[in-house]
Amino acid sequence: MIDEKIVRGHGLAPEEYALIAELIGREPNLTELGIFSVMWSEHCGYKSSRFFLRQLPTKGKNVVQGPGENAGIIDIGGGLVIVFKIESHNHPSYIEPYQGAATGVGGILRDIFTMGARPIAVLDSLRFGPLDSPANKAVMEGVVSGISGYGNAIGIPTVGGEIYFHDCYSMNPLVNVFALGLARKDRIFYAKTGGGGHLVLYAGAKTGRDGIHGATMASAEFGKETEHKRPNVQVGDPFKEKLLLEACLEVMDKGLIIGIQDMGAAGLTCATSEMAAKSGTGIEIDLDLVPQRESGMTPYEIMLSESQERMLMVAEEDKVRAVQDIFAKWDLDAVVIGRVTGGGRLKVKNEGEVVVDVPVDAVVNLCPVYEREVRPPAPAAAFSPPSPLPPPPGDCGRALLELLASPTIADKEWVFRQYDHMIQLNTVVRPGADASVLRVKGTKKALAMTLDGNSLYARLEPRAGGKIAVAEACRNLACVGAKAIGATNCLNFGNPEKPEVMWQFKEVIEGMAEACRAFGIPITGGNVSFYNDTEGSSIYPTPVLGIVGLIRDIGRTVTPEFKGDGDIIVLLGENPGELEGSEYLRYRFGREEGPAPGIDLRAERNLQALCLKAIARGLLRSAHDISEGGLAVCLAESSFMSRGWIGCRVTLEEDARTDALLFGEAQSRVIVTVRQRRLKPLLDLAARMKIRAARIGTTGGDEIVIDHKGRRAVRLPVRKAHKSWKQAIPDIFSVKKQEANVE
Amino acid sequence: MSIRTGRPGIAEREDVHPDHFERKGMKFGVVRFPGSNCDQDAFHVLRNVLGRKTVWLWHKDHALKDVDCVMLPGGFSYGDYLRPGAIARFSPLMQEVREFARSGGFVIGICNGFQILLELGLVPGAMLRNRKLKFLCGFVHVRVENDETAFTCKARKGQILRMPVAHFDGNYFAPAESYPRIRARQAVFRYCDEKGRLTEAANVNGSMGSIAGIINETGNVLGMMPHPERASETLLGSGDGRVIFESVIQSVESKPAVRARRPSRPAETGPPTGRRT
């Protein structure tokens, strides 16, 4: 009954099918084929990426749990751990933006609280096509509403993130969601079964037909028939998840369960087989006992459903009652659907008949790993032959005004004010700064977190793109006084069967691994999203790094905005004036030319160490890293975020094109401000740490004034520049341009 | 100080710090509905920041545990899929809350709590979706319109408070016949700009008369959309909201207690007073 067409329809290669038959010793039936197909999909099985991912550093002295579990865990001292991870929900968010994004949030939150942690923060990294297209606007509006709708209702603050716009995402937006939770070190839970005889409990929402083959869908390219895939997208219910969150944390707090796993991608199949595989046991479930939303569902559908807000738990028989009581208190059912067995087999019964009987190990661990062919693109495509750069603009002030209105650079308040970013009373530094900062109640500590990834750099030079993503995230943390302690990555790429894409992947991973080693940061988990191709064209390679930092004393944190008139502005780091890979070249001239900005990891590490030391000693009034848009945009942002829009006067003396100094994106640069009397200590410290520190100006006035070698380059009233930056995105979405008086 | 900052990070529980360090003063009760999500925040502020006894009140119970003030926190009670607060009003505990309010007990509803008070009919009016049809989170300013209530007696009339809002349905509406009276006698807070002007732009959600918070006619029930519990620690950006809780504390602690299950107090006429002038 299973023919080649069915096998192909399940996204499996003929050799893979042959391997399955060999592993189970017979031809699989359709349900079994479905089980293998989702577990061996790229999304669950990491079959193309695993080979390269092994290079990433995953160890460190504070790492409690590295990759391989629902999320990574890092010890922050005082009996507390943080549990965090990033995941993509790209494909569903294109098909159905609202639900795709909403369930992306729901899914990652379950990964966190499954481990016994209460989620305290969500950040998201979004990529859309240009907003002059109504379709892209609709996708963005849907995604933002979906994140807002889910996150706000469940009550986890969305405290930050990033958004970029580029043509390559028009048919393939990216939605990467990061979540972080806090747990007691002695109350961490894993997906395990403990041993034979324990009971398997199903809790949460009923199983429906939604999301069947979501994982397989996320492992294939999109063509014109994408519309038909809408039923593959799940529908989220944040209220149900809130109840599930409270009930799960309560049973875990009371120590009533042995193991727990959420039913996310590949649903019941993944949860049952992974729990058993991790403990080396078998598992037996009866589908007649599984709560179902609709009648007539086949075993295939029940096993593969990706209905949201469901959990699978294992408990000792005498604790089941107590578990059920707690779930009942939260108006949820927790029903026994099976038992842990000794045999190492996944057995599924339906109407008294065994419909699945396969070795757990084969399903979970024996997915083939491919070392896919890697081929660098033809040189012409990698680096365009050096063509003369466009001449510098006559009026750099005008150019700055335009750049501030580029959606990638413009103010994102329109987005984050739709997110509840203050709930839970921890948000000390709100979205918009270099990194978001959350206090840890009951301690002096705080956590800083940021997401970073510039896909243009990764496109121009994948290895540098990987390095810069790590470097920039760590620099953002250093700017608020936080030392990076752990990272998670979301790797968004095209079709891995294309050797050029695989080459990009390999290069990015190698760059990332090198940077993580240089900074001593472990990667404790993450997610790979391949097949970000629509109608044959791939997105730019988009590595997104989520890095968490620790601030030992919340009293010693610094924010990016100017604090008052008359402070001295100091530029830390070299200022070579590179225009390559800049948003300025791309936005103003439509030119995407390589190489990516240069990055020297040793200099970067010293720069970050300098920032941390200066902040710990209380020298700095503000610190802001120079990134997209360069130095001029960095200064402007520090001005816009300040109380009363404090201006600045800056003089640059470097020998370089004025526009390259103003808008170039050379790495490893931070702009800080200090009081006059702190200037000398800062310059001395920088000299000792071998970092160039140049006094470039002072804060004050109501204009942004930048001179270069005695010539006035920019003179703009802050008010005017602010309007350009602030209104760009609201104007795109608003029919009636009105400005509300919300900060 | 550390004992006052609560349990490290995870959750607020009554049983973690037995009440041995907070002996005197009033007792707050924070109601938990399924879907409440500012419940822990309110609990944290009342207990750890203001140092008052605070207990959880479970929506399925019928016990008010002798509290002096009932807090209905923000959130999405029952998911708010129908209409904010529309289901929560049928919770078993709401019978007791209604009686408690009728007998003069203090009740504060914040955000979703305000929406529930409206559905319960304990304060007049209704909520529409925000003018711009988007969820809105950020700091706003409100002006104290009446400093003679139990909830504002430590503030002064015209004082400007900076507090966050976070809601989708905070566009206050009252029928034309009752609106003038509500505005004149029951409005406690109105959205304003940082200088205290009632501008169109400052009225972030489009509320009628820029109303951000109102009391009932007898002055013992307060509903407000902004979140004073999010503005109770300066580390988080503002300490302006504390004055509201401190006012209630003064109103209760400087007066013979109006405890739960006490015989009802005659309804007052005229503007309700919390401050003795």
- For B35-57, write each residue's pLDDT tens digit: 999 999 999 999 999 999 999 99
Query: Closest chain B residue to A421 measured between Cα atoms?
Result: B137
Tell me phi and psi for residue A112, to 5 degrees.
-80, -50
Alpha carbon distance B102, A311 (integer Å): 43
A738 touches chain B (CB under 8 A): yes
Q: Do A237 and B79 touch (CB under 8 A)?
A: yes
Where do we find the tokens 């896919």?
A372
Q: Average pLDDT, whole number, for chain A?
A: 93
- Which of A113, A375, A136, A120 is CA-nearest to residue A262? A113
Where do we find the tokens 């002030």?
A397
Kindly state the average pLDDT of the residues A144-159.
97
Alpha carbon distance A603, A668 (integer Å): 7
Q: Do A440 and B166 touch (CB under 8 A)?
A: no
Q: Do B9 and A440 touch (CB under 8 A)?
A: yes
Residues of B noted as catalytic: 111, 227, 229
Within 8 A of A184 by CB-CB distance, chain B residues are 10
Nearest to B137 among A237, A422, A428 (CB): A422
Residues of chain A numbered 389-448 and touching chain B (CB < 8 Å): 413, 416-428, 430, 439-443
Within 8 A of B34 by CB-CB distance, chain A residues are 239, 242-243, 330-331
Instruction: Kindly report, residue by residue over A542-577, the tens digit of the pLDDT.
Output: 999 999 999 999 999 999 999 999 999 999 999 999
A122 touches chain B (CB under 8 A): no
Amino acid of residue A172: N
Mutate to test the interface with A, among B4, B7, B10 (most CBs of A within 10 A): B10
Residues of chain A numbered 209-238 and touching chain B (CB < 8 Å): 237-238
Alpha carbon distance B220, A69 (integer Å): 51
Instruction: Kindly report, residue by residue over A243-286, the tens digit of the pLDDT.
Output: 999 999 999 999 999 999 999 888 999 999 999 999 999 999 99
Count of Cβ atoms closer than 10 Å to residue B16 Cβ: 11
Alpha carbon distance B151, B146 (integer Å): 9
Query: Closest chain B residue to A427 measured between Cα atoms?
Result: B236
Instruction: Give pLDDT, residue A221.
Output: 64
**Which residues have a Cβ under 8 Å from the Cβ of A245 and sit 6 or more positions away?**
A109, A113, A118, A119, A154
Strands B187-192 and B136-144: antiparallel
B98 Rama class: left (phi>0) / alpha (psi -120 to 50) / beta? alpha
H or E element at residue A99: helix A97-113
Instruction: Give pLDDT, residue A144.
Output: 98
Residue B271 reports pLDDT greater than 50: no
pLDDT bin (cut points 50, 70, 90) of residue B4 is: very low
Within 8 A of A441 by CB-CB distance, chain B residues are 5-9, 44
Alpha carbon distance A655, A102 (integer Å): 50
Taken in order A520, A693, A717, A565, the sign of the CA dihedral is positive
Contact (CB, 8 A) for A234 and A103: yes
**Which residues have a Cβ under 8 Å from the Cβ of A442 and sit 6 or more positions away?**
B2, B5, B6, B7, B8, B9
H or E element at residue A56: none
Alpha carbon distance A671, A722 (integer Å): 19
Kindly state the average pLDDT of the residues A336-358.
95
Within 8 A of B37 by CB-CB distance, chain A residues are 153-155, 242, 423
Nearest to A423 among B38, B136, B139 (CB): B38
pLDDT bin (cut points 50, 70, 90) of residue A453 is: very high
Residue B276 reports pLDDT greater than 90: no
Taking the CA atoms of residue B221, residue B223, residue B226 and residue B228 in that order, the dihedral angle to the nearest 10 degrees is 20
Q: Do B236 and A238 touch (CB under 8 A)?
A: no
Within 8 A of A430 by CB-CB distance, chain B residues are 237
Distance from CA of B202 to the nearest CA of A (A): 5
Query: Closest chain B residue to A146 measured between Cα atoms?
Result: B135
Within 8 A of A741 by CB-CB distance, chain B residues are 140-141, 193, 199, 201-202, 204
A89 included as an active-site residue: yes
Instruction: Give pLDDT, residue A214.
Output: 60
**How many A×B Cβ pairs under 8 Å?**
133
Residue A732 reports pLDDT greater than 70: yes
Given the residues A10, A43, A213, A722, the one annotated as active site:
A43
Instruction: Give pLDDT, residue A593.
Output: 79
Given the residues A10, A89, A166, A198, the one annotated as active site:
A89
Instruction: Kindly report, residue by residue over B101-137, the tens digit of the pLDDT.
Output: 999 999 999 999 999 999 999 999 999 999 999 999 9
Within 8 A of A416 by CB-CB distance, chain B residues are 137
Instruction: Give pLDDT, residue B264.
Output: 43
Within 8 A of A743 by CB-CB distance, chain B residues are 138-140
Distance from CA of B80 to the nearest CA of A (A): 8
pLDDT bin (cut points 50, 70, 90) of residue A101 is: very high
Nearest to B34 among A148, A330, A439 (CB): A330
pLDDT bin (cut points 50, 70, 90) of residue B277 is: very low
Six token digits for residue A308: 């949201």
Tell me the DSSP string of A305-346: ---SSEEEEEE-GGGHHHHHHHHHHTT--EEEEEEEESSSEE
pLDDT bin (cut points 50, 70, 90) of residue B28 is: very high
Instruction: Give pLDDT, residue A43.
Output: 82
Distance from CA of A124 to the nearest CA of B (A): 17
Q: Within 13 Å and on the Cβ side, how many CA atoms surround A81? A: 25
Alpha carbon distance A107, A103 (integer Å): 6
Q: Do B5 and A742 touch (CB under 8 A)?
A: no
Six token digits for residue A567: 């402070």
ipTM over 0.95: no
Q: Do A239 and B193 touch (CB under 8 A)?
A: no
Count of Cβ atoms closer than 10 Å to residue A279 Cβ: 22
Six token digits for residue B32: 């938990």
Q: Do A80 and B79 touch (CB under 8 A)?
A: no
Of A84-88, A301-305, B20-24, B58-62, the range with the lowest mean pLDDT is B20-24
Distance from CA of B136 to the nearest CA of A (A): 5
Instruction: Give pLDDT, residue B270.
Output: 44
A379 Rama class: left (phi>0) / alpha (psi -120 to 50) / beta? alpha
Distance from CA of A78 to the nearest CA of B (A): 9
Alpha carbon distance A259, A198 (integer Å): 10
Nearest to B78 among A149, A239, A418 (CB): A239
pLDDT bin (cut points 50, 70, 90) of residue A742 is: low
Nearest to A154 among B37, B40, B136 (CB): B37
Residue B154 reports pLDDT greater than 90: yes
H or E element at residue A232: none
Within 8 A of A424 by CB-CB distance, chain B residues are 40-41
Residues of chain A numbered 324-343 and touching chain B (CB < 8 Å): 330-331
Distance from CA of A182 to the nearest CA of B (A): 6
Distance from CA of A415 to the nearest CA of B (A): 10
Q: Do B7 and A423 touch (CB under 8 A)?
A: no
* Rounded percentage of chain A residues whose pLDDT exceeds 90: 84
Q: Do B132 and A183 touch (CB under 8 A)?
A: no
Q: Do A417 and B138 touch (CB under 8 A)?
A: yes
Within 8 A of A155 by CB-CB distance, chain B residues are 37-38, 75-76
Instruction: Give pLDDT, residue B268.
Output: 42
Instruction: Give pLDDT, residue A390.
Output: 87
Nearest to A741 among B40, B78, B199 (CB): B199
Residue B7 reports pLDDT greater than 60: no
Per-residue CA distances from B144 to B69, B147, B215 (Å): 21, 7, 12
- Helical segments of A202-319, H only: 214-217, 238-253, 267-279, 299-304
- pTM value is 0.93
- Helical segments of chain B, H only: 39-44, 93-102, 112-120, 179-181, 242-253
Instruction: Give pLDDT, residue A215.
Output: 56
Distance from CA of B251 to the nearest CA of A (A): 26
Query: Closest chain B residue to A78 measured between Cα atoms?
Result: B8
Instruction: Give pLDDT, residue B256.
Output: 59
**Which residues have a Cβ under 8 Å from the Cβ of A304 and sit 6 or more positions away?**
A34, A35, A38, A212, A213, A266, A267, A268, A269
Residue A740 reports pLDDT greater than 80: no
Residue B273 reports pLDDT greater than 50: no
